[in-house]
Amino acid sequence: MQSWNGTVTLITGASGGIGAALAREMAKTGATLVLIARRDGLLTALRDEISKTRAQITMTSYPLDITNAPAVDRMIDDVVRRFNRIDVLINNAAYGIDSLFVDTPMAAEREIFETNLFASLYLMKKVLPIMERQGGGKIMNIGSVVGHRAMPLMSSYCATKSALKAYTESLRVEYAKKGVQVMYASPGHTQTEFLAHQKRFGVTHRRGVPTTPMTVDTCARLLVKALNKNRRDTILTGIGKLGIFVNRFFPSLLDRVLLSRV
Protein backbone atom coordinates (compact mmCIF):
# COMPACT_ATOMS: atom_id res chain seq x y z
CA MET A 1 0.00 0.00 0.00
CA GLN A 2 1.32 3.45 -0.94
CA SER A 3 2.32 5.64 1.99
CA TRP A 4 0.43 8.91 2.37
CA ASN A 5 2.32 9.86 5.53
CA GLY A 6 1.15 13.27 6.72
CA THR A 7 -0.90 13.92 3.58
CA VAL A 8 -3.72 16.24 4.65
CA THR A 9 -6.89 14.54 3.41
CA LEU A 10 -10.39 16.03 3.64
CA ILE A 11 -13.31 13.59 3.44
CA THR A 12 -16.92 14.78 3.40
CA GLY A 13 -19.78 12.54 4.47
CA ALA A 14 -17.29 10.82 6.77
CA SER A 15 -19.67 9.76 9.55
CA GLY A 16 -20.83 6.56 7.86
CA GLY A 17 -20.91 4.36 4.77
CA ILE A 18 -18.27 4.93 2.12
CA GLY A 19 -16.94 8.06 3.84
CA ALA A 20 -16.18 6.28 7.11
CA ALA A 21 -14.65 3.34 5.24
CA LEU A 22 -12.45 5.75 3.28
CA ALA A 23 -11.28 7.30 6.55
CA ARG A 24 -10.28 3.86 7.86
CA GLU A 25 -8.52 2.97 4.61
CA MET A 26 -6.64 6.28 4.39
CA ALA A 27 -5.61 5.89 8.04
CA LYS A 28 -3.74 2.72 7.03
CA THR A 29 -1.62 4.83 4.66
CA GLY A 30 -0.60 7.30 7.37
CA ALA A 31 -2.62 10.21 6.01
CA THR A 32 -3.60 13.14 8.22
CA LEU A 33 -7.40 12.96 8.31
CA VAL A 34 -9.86 15.83 8.27
CA LEU A 35 -13.31 14.28 8.69
CA ILE A 36 -16.41 16.29 7.81
CA ALA A 37 -20.06 15.39 8.40
CA ARG A 38 -23.16 16.65 10.19
CA ARG A 39 -23.39 13.84 12.76
CA ASP A 40 -20.95 14.81 15.51
CA GLY A 41 -21.48 11.69 17.62
CA LEU A 42 -20.66 9.35 14.75
CA LEU A 43 -17.59 11.41 13.81
CA THR A 44 -16.32 11.16 17.38
CA ALA A 45 -16.96 7.41 17.44
CA LEU A 46 -15.06 6.99 14.16
CA ARG A 47 -12.10 8.97 15.46
CA ASP A 48 -12.03 6.85 18.62
CA GLU A 49 -12.21 3.65 16.58
CA ILE A 50 -9.34 4.63 14.28
CA SER A 51 -7.21 5.88 17.20
CA LYS A 52 -7.34 2.47 18.86
CA THR A 53 -5.45 0.83 16.01
CA ARG A 54 -3.70 3.84 14.44
CA ALA A 55 -2.60 5.88 17.44
CA GLN A 56 0.04 7.69 15.37
CA ILE A 57 -2.55 9.15 12.97
CA THR A 58 -3.30 12.86 13.19
CA MET A 59 -7.05 13.42 12.95
CA THR A 60 -9.48 16.25 13.34
CA SER A 61 -13.19 16.45 12.64
CA TYR A 62 -15.67 19.19 11.82
CA PRO A 63 -19.36 18.56 12.50
CA LEU A 64 -20.94 20.87 9.94
CA ASP A 65 -23.41 21.08 7.09
CA ILE A 66 -21.39 21.39 3.88
CA THR A 67 -24.14 23.55 2.33
CA ASN A 68 -23.35 26.20 4.97
CA ALA A 69 -20.75 28.32 3.16
CA PRO A 70 -19.59 30.38 6.19
CA ALA A 71 -19.05 27.17 8.18
CA VAL A 72 -17.05 25.71 5.28
CA ASP A 73 -14.99 28.91 5.10
CA ARG A 74 -14.12 28.66 8.79
CA MET A 75 -13.26 24.98 8.45
CA ILE A 76 -10.92 25.52 5.48
CA ASP A 77 -9.23 28.46 7.22
CA ASP A 78 -8.72 26.35 10.34
CA VAL A 79 -7.30 23.40 8.40
CA VAL A 80 -4.81 25.65 6.56
CA ARG A 81 -3.85 27.37 9.82
CA ARG A 82 -3.20 24.03 11.51
CA PHE A 83 -1.55 22.08 8.69
CA ASN A 84 -0.48 24.77 6.21
CA ARG A 85 -1.75 22.73 3.25
CA ILE A 86 -4.51 20.54 1.81
CA ASP A 87 -3.31 17.62 -0.29
CA VAL A 88 -6.45 15.57 -0.97
CA LEU A 89 -10.17 16.40 -1.11
CA ILE A 90 -12.68 13.57 -1.40
CA ASN A 91 -16.16 14.92 -2.12
CA ASN A 92 -18.31 12.05 -0.87
CA ALA A 93 -21.35 13.54 0.89
CA ALA A 94 -24.61 12.91 -0.98
CA TYR A 95 -28.10 11.47 -0.66
CA GLY A 96 -30.79 10.21 -3.01
CA ILE A 97 -34.43 10.80 -3.90
CA ASP A 98 -36.61 7.84 -4.88
CA SER A 99 -39.63 9.36 -6.62
CA LEU A 100 -41.29 10.03 -9.92
CA PHE A 101 -40.08 13.30 -11.42
CA VAL A 102 -43.51 14.96 -11.27
CA ASP A 103 -43.95 13.97 -7.61
CA THR A 104 -40.67 15.57 -6.51
CA PRO A 105 -41.24 19.12 -5.19
CA MET A 106 -39.03 21.85 -6.61
CA ALA A 107 -37.80 22.59 -3.09
CA ALA A 108 -36.52 19.01 -2.88
CA GLU A 109 -34.84 19.35 -6.29
CA ARG A 110 -33.00 22.45 -5.09
CA GLU A 111 -32.02 20.83 -1.79
CA ILE A 112 -30.44 17.78 -3.39
CA PHE A 113 -28.47 19.96 -5.80
CA GLU A 114 -27.23 22.05 -2.86
CA THR A 115 -25.84 18.98 -1.07
CA ASN A 116 -24.79 16.69 -3.91
CA LEU A 117 -23.43 19.30 -6.33
CA PHE A 118 -23.10 22.89 -5.15
CA ALA A 119 -21.45 22.00 -1.84
CA SER A 120 -18.81 19.98 -3.71
CA LEU A 121 -18.29 22.84 -6.16
CA TYR A 122 -17.84 25.30 -3.32
CA LEU A 123 -15.28 23.07 -1.61
CA MET A 124 -13.35 22.75 -4.87
CA LYS A 125 -13.42 26.53 -5.35
CA LYS A 126 -11.91 26.88 -1.88
CA VAL A 127 -9.35 24.09 -2.19
CA LEU A 128 -8.11 24.39 -5.79
CA PRO A 129 -6.26 27.71 -5.26
CA ILE A 130 -4.58 26.22 -2.18
CA MET A 131 -3.47 23.16 -4.13
CA GLU A 132 -2.24 25.33 -7.00
CA ARG A 133 -0.16 27.50 -4.64
CA GLN A 134 1.44 24.49 -2.97
CA GLY A 135 2.27 22.89 -6.32
CA GLY A 136 -0.26 20.07 -6.48
CA GLY A 137 -2.99 17.98 -4.94
CA LYS A 138 -5.73 15.48 -5.68
CA ILE A 139 -9.50 15.78 -5.79
CA MET A 140 -11.72 12.72 -6.04
CA ASN A 141 -15.40 13.34 -6.67
CA ILE A 142 -17.47 10.34 -5.63
CA GLY A 143 -20.07 10.00 -8.33
CA SER A 144 -22.16 7.08 -9.48
CA VAL A 145 -22.76 4.79 -12.41
CA VAL A 146 -26.03 6.72 -12.83
CA GLY A 147 -23.91 9.79 -13.50
CA HIS A 148 -23.00 8.04 -16.76
CA ARG A 149 -26.54 6.81 -17.53
CA ALA A 150 -29.59 8.12 -15.70
CA MET A 151 -32.17 5.78 -14.19
CA PRO A 152 -35.94 6.11 -13.76
CA LEU A 153 -37.37 7.15 -10.38
CA MET A 154 -34.13 8.83 -9.34
CA SER A 155 -33.79 11.62 -11.89
CA SER A 156 -32.73 14.21 -9.30
CA TYR A 157 -29.86 12.13 -7.93
CA CYS A 158 -28.75 11.11 -11.43
CA ALA A 159 -28.70 14.73 -12.56
CA THR A 160 -26.50 15.81 -9.64
CA LYS A 161 -24.00 13.03 -10.33
CA SER A 162 -24.00 13.68 -14.07
CA ALA A 163 -23.34 17.38 -13.45
CA LEU A 164 -20.55 16.53 -11.01
CA LYS A 165 -18.99 14.33 -13.69
CA ALA A 166 -19.11 17.19 -16.20
CA TYR A 167 -17.40 19.58 -13.77
CA THR A 168 -14.79 16.92 -13.02
CA GLU A 169 -13.95 16.49 -16.70
CA SER A 170 -13.60 20.23 -17.21
CA LEU A 171 -11.50 20.82 -14.09
CA ARG A 172 -9.26 17.85 -14.86
CA VAL A 173 -8.03 19.65 -17.98
CA GLU A 174 -8.04 23.15 -16.46
CA TYR A 175 -5.72 22.07 -13.65
CA ALA A 176 -3.64 19.34 -15.33
CA LYS A 177 -0.68 21.69 -15.88
CA LYS A 178 -0.93 22.97 -12.31
CA GLY A 179 -0.20 19.64 -10.67
CA VAL A 180 -3.76 18.98 -9.51
CA GLN A 181 -5.37 15.65 -10.40
CA VAL A 182 -9.19 15.76 -10.55
CA MET A 183 -10.91 12.36 -10.63
CA TYR A 184 -14.41 10.89 -10.78
CA ALA A 185 -15.26 7.54 -9.21
CA SER A 186 -18.45 5.49 -9.54
CA PRO A 187 -18.89 2.97 -6.69
CA GLY A 188 -22.10 1.28 -7.85
CA HIS A 189 -24.34 -0.72 -5.50
CA THR A 190 -22.62 -0.66 -2.10
CA GLN A 191 -23.66 -1.96 1.31
CA THR A 192 -24.53 1.37 2.97
CA GLU A 193 -27.54 3.16 4.45
CA PHE A 194 -28.02 5.07 1.18
CA LEU A 195 -31.29 3.38 0.15
CA ALA A 196 -32.73 3.62 3.67
CA HIS A 197 -31.95 7.35 3.86
CA GLN A 198 -33.39 8.30 0.46
CA LYS A 199 -36.15 10.88 0.45
CA ARG A 200 -39.41 9.68 -1.06
CA PHE A 201 -42.37 11.58 -2.46
CA GLY A 202 -45.61 10.14 -3.80
CA VAL A 203 -45.89 6.41 -4.50
CA THR A 204 -42.97 4.63 -6.13
CA HIS A 205 -42.86 1.11 -7.48
CA ARG A 206 -39.17 0.58 -8.17
CA ARG A 207 -38.02 -2.93 -7.47
CA GLY A 208 -34.96 -3.69 -5.38
CA VAL A 209 -31.47 -3.47 -6.86
CA PRO A 210 -30.90 -6.89 -8.52
CA THR A 211 -27.21 -7.19 -7.63
CA THR A 212 -25.23 -8.22 -4.57
CA PRO A 213 -23.88 -5.05 -2.95
CA MET A 214 -20.17 -4.42 -2.60
CA THR A 215 -18.96 -4.02 0.99
CA VAL A 216 -17.89 -0.54 2.03
CA ASP A 217 -14.43 -1.85 2.91
CA THR A 218 -13.92 -3.24 -0.59
CA CYS A 219 -15.29 -0.03 -2.08
CA ALA A 220 -12.91 2.13 -0.01
CA ARG A 221 -9.92 -0.06 -0.86
CA LEU A 222 -10.66 0.27 -4.60
CA LEU A 223 -11.20 4.02 -4.30
CA VAL A 224 -7.86 4.54 -2.55
CA LYS A 225 -6.20 2.39 -5.22
CA ALA A 226 -7.74 4.63 -7.90
CA LEU A 227 -6.55 7.69 -5.99
CA ASN A 228 -3.02 6.28 -5.86
CA LYS A 229 -3.01 5.64 -9.60
CA ASN A 230 -4.66 8.97 -10.56
CA ARG A 231 -7.40 7.16 -12.45
CA ARG A 232 -9.43 9.81 -14.20
CA ASP A 233 -12.75 7.93 -14.27
CA THR A 234 -13.18 4.78 -12.21
CA ILE A 235 -16.13 2.38 -12.35
CA LEU A 236 -15.83 -0.10 -9.50
CA THR A 237 -18.34 -2.81 -10.43
CA GLY A 238 -18.61 -5.19 -13.35
CA ILE A 239 -22.35 -4.60 -13.67
CA GLY A 240 -21.67 -0.86 -13.81
CA LYS A 241 -19.15 -1.28 -16.62
CA LEU A 242 -21.59 -3.54 -18.48
CA GLY A 243 -24.43 -1.04 -18.12
CA ILE A 244 -22.31 1.81 -19.47
CA PHE A 245 -21.14 -0.37 -22.38
CA VAL A 246 -24.71 -1.38 -23.26
CA ASN A 247 -25.89 2.23 -22.99
CA ARG A 248 -23.16 3.36 -25.37
CA PHE A 249 -23.72 0.77 -28.08
CA PHE A 250 -27.28 -0.49 -27.47
CA PRO A 251 -29.14 2.35 -25.70
CA SER A 252 -32.63 1.20 -26.70
CA LEU A 253 -31.92 -2.23 -25.22
CA LEU A 254 -30.99 -0.67 -21.90
CA ASP A 255 -34.16 1.43 -22.02
CA ARG A 256 -36.21 -1.75 -22.31
CA VAL A 257 -34.34 -3.36 -19.40
CA LEU A 258 -34.92 -0.30 -17.22
CA LEU A 259 -38.59 -0.15 -18.21
CA SER A 260 -39.03 -3.61 -16.71
CA ARG A 261 -37.72 -2.31 -13.37
CA VAL A 262 -40.33 0.47 -13.04
What is the set of active-site residues? 157
Q: Is residue 184 a contact partner of residue 165, using CB atoms and an 8 Å limit? A: yes
Cα distances (Å, whole numbers) of residue 43 to 37, 71, 247:
7, 17, 39
Q: Outline where 101-154 has alpha helix (H).
A: 106-113, 119-134
Distance in angstroms (rounded) separating the CA atoms of residues 63 and 220: 22
* Distant-in-sequence, close-in-space partners of 36: CB < 8 Å, separation ≥ 6: 10, 11, 12, 13, 14, 61, 62, 64, 66, 75, 93
Distance in angstroms (rounded) separating the CA atoms of residues 69 and 134: 23
Distance in angstroms (rounded) separating the CA atoms of residues 191 and 212: 9
Q: Is residue 157 a contact partner of residue 112, using CB atoms and an 8 Å limit? A: yes
Distance in angstroms (rounded) separating the CA atoms of residues 159 and 117: 9
Q: Outline where 34-118 has alpha helix (H).
A: 40-53, 69-83, 106-113
Q: How many residues does the chain have?
A: 262
